[in-house]
Amino acid sequence: MSISSRFAVAIHILALLDINKEGRNTSEFIAGSVNTNPVVIRRVIGLLGKAGLVHTSPGVGGASLARQPQDINLLEVYRAVQNDPPGELFAAHDKPNPKCPVGQNIQGTLDTVFRRAESAMENELAKVTLDQIVFDLVRGDR
């Protein structure tokens, strides 16, 4: 399966918050932009809020970045919206047979390889900051 589109939506939201920082970014406004339901947006924003990436204003409405866009990288965003804990991008097979020569040690062997691959991916995400994304978006507009 693919990694949840929450990640893509989260990046979308954060970029919008930066670009439209003058306006009041309600979940409904953002939903219109992302083309989905406001509740979906609020759910993602809730996760981003818990991770300390955005602030929200209950009652008054609207969300805003809690940090400068150059201080937010995509790995943080990924971690914020990803339900699976780190180190579980690859599913291990549950209960290998301990009586089998392969089963005895397969867990550790696979774990090393899987962790290495997962880290390589995450390092690429860590390299990219939100302001690079925004720059790229605005550049595309010209």
Partner DNA sequence: TCACCTGTAACCATTGTAGTTACAATTACT
Partner DNA sequence: AGTAATTGTAACTACAATGGTTACAGGTGA
In the complex with DNA, the residue whose CB is nearer, 83 or 101, is 83
Q: Does 96 bind ligand FES (CB under 6 A)?
A: yes
Question: Cα dihedral sign for 31, 82, 78, 50?
Answer: positive
> What phi-psi label fits residue 87: left (phi over 0), alpha (psi between -120 and 50 degrees) or beta?
left
Q: Does 116 bind its own copies (CB under 8 A)?
A: yes
Task: Find the shortest distance in angstroms from Cβ 100 to ligand FES.
Answer: 3
The CA distances from residue 66 to 79, 105, 125, in Å, are 16, 45, 20
27: CB partners within 8 A, 6+ apart: 38, 39, 41, 42, 45, 63
45: partner contacted, choices ligand FES, its own copies, DNA, none (Cβ within 5-8 A by kind): DNA
Q: Does 100 bind ligand FES (CB under 6 A)?
A: yes
Q: Does 100 bind DNA (CB under 7 A)?
A: no
Binding site for DNA (CB under 7 A): 1, 4-6, 24-28, 36-40, 42-43, 45-46, 49, 56-63, 83, 91, 94
